[in-house]
Amino acid sequence: MCPDCFEELILAPVNANRIIFGVDIYTCGIYEKTLQKLIRGLKYHNQKELAYYLAKFMYEYFQKLGLEKKFQVVPVPLHKNRIKKRKYNHMELVAEEFCKLSGDTLNTELIRRIKDTKPQYKLSRKERMLNLASAFEVDKSKDLGCPILIIDDICTTGVTFEEMITSLHSAGIKDITCLASSSPAG
């Protein structure tokens, strides 16, 4: 990722992309061109150094929201089988870099994926809902007692965020904001 390529990344309008169960969902850009290459390189091609650039892009957008509070940053967790296959959770790497930029605290222990789900990209909304039903488990003892910022790479239907929000709400955790680096074009 060179500086010129980074400058090609276009921030989305600064407003909630959608609201799920009273939680604002923000998406930083559109999943196309340079942003798509950035995410794919990080996620599928072991280009871990790209985590910094995705975090920087997300942080530049996040700053524009003007939220004056400190967060515990929770990356969308992967199931242990997916981590074993991929060797890392790309969003955990992004969350680490995001926290370095924001001064927020990384929390990878609050919620974990207990169901080995199929990849979502070819599934309809209904199939995604079935796929992710009861996929997450919250360990309330790991809550740091401050607002939660869940981060993910792509928000297509919002089902991943929806399931995580449901799990957190069930555990009595309500102060949540969601941030995805991108949403599909159109």
Candidates 3.30.1340, 3.30.1490, 2.60.120, 3.40.50; CATH matching 3-183: 3.40.50
Count of C-beta atoms within a 10 Å radius of residue 26: 24
Average pLDDT over residues 154-181: 94
Count of C-beta atoms within a 10 Å radius of residue 138: 18
pTM for the whole thing? Answer: 0.93
- Helix 90-102, helix 33-44: angle, nearest 10: 110
Predicted pLDDT at 2: 81
State pLDDT tens for residues 114-147. Answer: 988 877 777 788 888 887 888 899 999 999 999 9
State pLDDT tens for residues 9-31. Answer: 999 999 999 999 999 999 999 99
pLDDT, greater one: 107 or 119: 107
Percentage of the residues of the chain whose pLDDT score is greater than 90: 76
Can you read off the two tokens belonging to residue 106? Answer: 């990384």
Least confident of 88-97, 121-130, 174-183: 121-130
Distance CA 98, CA 94 (A): 6
Domain positions in the chain: 3-183
Predicted pLDDT at 134: 84
Chain centroid, CA 96 distance in Å: 12
Asked if pLDDT for residue 186 goes beyond 60, the answer is no
Average pLDDT over residues 160-165: 95
Can you read off the two tokens belonging to residue 43? Answer: 């996620």
